[in-house]
Amino acid sequence: MLNEKSLSAFLNLADTGNFQDAAKRMGVSNASLSRYVAMAEDQVGFPLFHRKRGNSGLTRKGQEFLPIARKLQSELQTCELQIANIRSDAGQAVRIGCGPLTPRTLIKPAMQAALQVSPGMRVSVSVSARQAPIEMLENREIDIYVGDLTHTPETENIELMMFEKRAVVFAAHVSHPLHDAPVCKLRDVFEYPFASPHLHKHWRAALTKALGGNEEAAQKVRTLPQIESDDYAFLASLLDDSAFVVGGMPETFSELASSGSVKLIETEPQITWNICAARKTDLDQPAVDLLWQKLRKLAM
């Protein structure tokens, strides 16, 4: 097994093809670099470089070994990060990625319940409708994702948890004309300035179907929204203007609704969210397990 110095020497020399440049990269002398490369060749059991004056190219076996060495370096860096996390007690930290509909509806109650059990837990929440959650979980950028995972590619060591579907509601200022109708048709909502988080293709397909599924519906959906933001505090502030309609969940607008400045609108037909949570199963992190358990209670 290559040690860190010999692995680094091999990769730097493979990248530069020059002993002097590789030594500068590592901050060592040419003699030290040469010794580390020799160690690497002893450890793998075959020559890695053709020695030439000025330049050193990879042998055929060196070329075959190069992707293995890059993978090994990546795994060592991951291992070092995990060890650092253990040293800093990062087992109490949870990184959550989520879509805009979920912070108040799911993450807040789950987090509050988890903090009652483990007050020292630290939680960071990244909200975006444009995230690539599975890739972020695979790359250890987040520990849990909560949001729309309509299309989930097959992948190993990923646990999924589905939440019961709920109807999306719309909100508008109390003076908005939509409140005058006994039944609000979904198509009527989009006759007014509309604001929402990013509408990815699955939401657009759902809206198109709900509006009739024809080309006219598709064209209408292509123009939505007039204002787009994943920041619901900003979106809710637009409801000060009597013209705007904003889509979301009831919890999103609870404070404005209780103040009497905004009323919720339920449409016919209704559209529903498709929310689930995902996490890696090959990690041993007590705080992640705890928060996952609290999310599971909300899914029941």
Query: What pTM was estimated for this model as a whole?
Result: 0.64
Secondary structure tally for the chain: helices H, strands E: 12, 14
Q: Of 150, 273, 269, which is closest to residue 211 (Cα–Cα)?
A: 269
CATH superfamily of 91-163+274-299: Periplasmic binding protein-like II (3.40.190.10)
Lookup: tokens for 201: 């293709």
How confident is the model over 190-215, as pLDDT tens digits?
Answer: 999 999 999 888 888 889 998 999 99
Q: What does the pLDDT average to over 34-58?
A: 86
Cβ partners under 8 Å of residue 201, min gap 6: none
**Rounded to whole angstroms, how far apart are CA atoms 127 and 108?**
13
How confident is the model over 91-147, as pLDDT tens digits?
Answer: 578 999 998 989 999 999 999 999 998 888 889 999 988 878 888 888 888 999 998
* Range list for CATH 3.40.190.10 in the chain: 91-163+274-299, 169-268
CA distances from residue 52 to 27, 28, 230 in whole angstroms, order as listed:
22, 20, 57
CATH topology of domain 4-87: Arc Repressor Mutant, subunit A (1.10.10)
Q: Which residues sit opposite 91 in a β-bridge?
A: none
CA distances from residue 13 to 8, 51, 195, 229 in whole angstroms, order as listed:
8, 11, 54, 47
Instruction: Identify the CATH class of 169-268.
Output: alpha beta
